[in-house]
Chains A and B, each alone.
Chain A
Amino acid sequence: MFARLKQMLIKEFIQVFRDKRTRFVLFVPPIVQMLVFGYAATYEIRHVPTAVLDLDHTQESRELVARFSATPYFDVKQELDDRRQIADILDRGQAVVALHIHPGFAEQLRSGQTAPLQIIVDGTNSNTALIATGYANQIAQGFALDYQRDRMQRMSPALVERAPQIQLDARPWYNESFTSRWFFVPGVIGSLTLVLVTTLTAFAVVREREIGTLEQMMVTPIRPSEFILGKTLPFFLIGLFDVALIGTIGTFWFRVPFRGSIFVLFAGTVVFLLCMLGIGLFISTVSSTQQQAMVTSFFFIMPAITFSGFGFPISTMPQWLQTLTYLDPLRYFLIVLRGVYLKGIGFDILWPQMAAMLALGVTLLTVSVFRFHKALD
């Protein structure tokens, strides 16, 4: 058995590495995608172009505006003098946020009334809008709190000194400076492995079927189980290698911290690869041409990535979708990846994810191998 398997493996490796284009497919797309994702994928907002319509022109209104431009989030680019201009610059996309300070702003503040501050945000990118509104609210609130504190101080300094005050001591763990890249890079490792291993496995088997060499293989003494093992083992190894390759880029190029143990990551990768090989094999049993295999993989890959928590939180999806995500192997692998990279946690916490992937992987492989046997008969 080992002799036959060895021959089969040698054949597979030769086949994979002989063709210049296949070699290209193995290594270049993952690296390119990793680099593009690492640089482009970000939910952070910085330097949002901001326009100001200050109709009050007082020290107070100017101080408020100064607070906005003092943050890295807002860049005050334009000063307007008519409210109709707001619509114009937002329509043209020259500013994403507009602050509108009404006349009498300082007057109202001084007399202890509530002064309105209007913030108009372009909602075409709902995420930028959401975060920008959050920051704007925080800045305005900070201004109001300080202003009121000053007023109290003037009225009854002795009392204010003793007035109770509650502060929030926010401690962001694992990603102290809210770097989007730290969130995305481990996710990209998982998604790329998923894409690569499923499509390659599916393609390898289907191509043999399409060009008729599958039948030729079957008349040799090789057993179906050896054939399957011979087909999947190379991609298993390539999958491991790619995780190592893009993981290295993540750590050394993008400087994402690696706080856990390589061993835990290795174990997680192994069980995840079981799932991917199972799916790749399954796709190959339902496709007769490479084109069909490619398209079927696409139908699997898109939902698998979207519902994995890769870039869109699972907790905000509709309930029925959340339940469905439990069937997504990538969901568990991403928890393992982020857990190992950012949280530095180990088996004691990650065992449910590992167990889930193992169960899914074994089920998928069993079903695929069974179907594969049937397809050969």
Chain B
Amino acid sequence: MDRLIDLLPELWDATLETLYVVTLALIFGGLLGLLLGLALYATRAGSLFPHRALFGTLNVIVNFFRPIPFVILMAAVQPLARSVGVPGIGPEFAVFAITLASMFAISRIVEQNLLTVRPGVIEAARAAGASRSRILFGLIPREALGPLILGYTFIVVALVDMTAIAGAVAAGGLGEFAIVYGFKQFNPAVTWAAVLVIIVIVQAVQFLGNALARRVLRR
């Protein structure tokens, strides 16, 4: 316990690092995932811009990357990161790897939530003279905003998880803190401190997401 008190500054730094990586990964992965999700949604058969070949290609790419366990993906994309000028270790690499991993998961979540918009609503907009692109970028994300917020909330929890794993490649954060000071030094109290902080982060994110979604959905 004394050891934990000694480590409080490190715990604080680790928490900030985790939040830093999660935030950046959410911004990049969230945006790329949103675009990819919109593309998947728009190109599927019967949608606004049906395109069998493009949809098929995107679908295969997403299905290829999504099931790769993050710890393996991280190792696998290290050469790619270096080739685009991102260092192969540290927080920057963690952001790179998590962005890549999360965008595919996010694209599926986005696609699924956009599909909840009733076709009749799209037809009404078309009948009112709206262009397909205006419907795709303007109306549909707005109509699906409630479920989208809940979907992103869900993914943030996964991002926190991935950030912890990235601790294994010196990305800093709570994962590294727990491994270095807790696990490797046989100090479960330290490990559990990291767990507690992660729980607090996850709860806060979930609370915020729920509140936002409630506001948007008016219930």
Q: Do A and B come from one complex?
A: no
Residues of A within 8 A of B (CB): none
Binding site for A on B (CB under 8 A): none
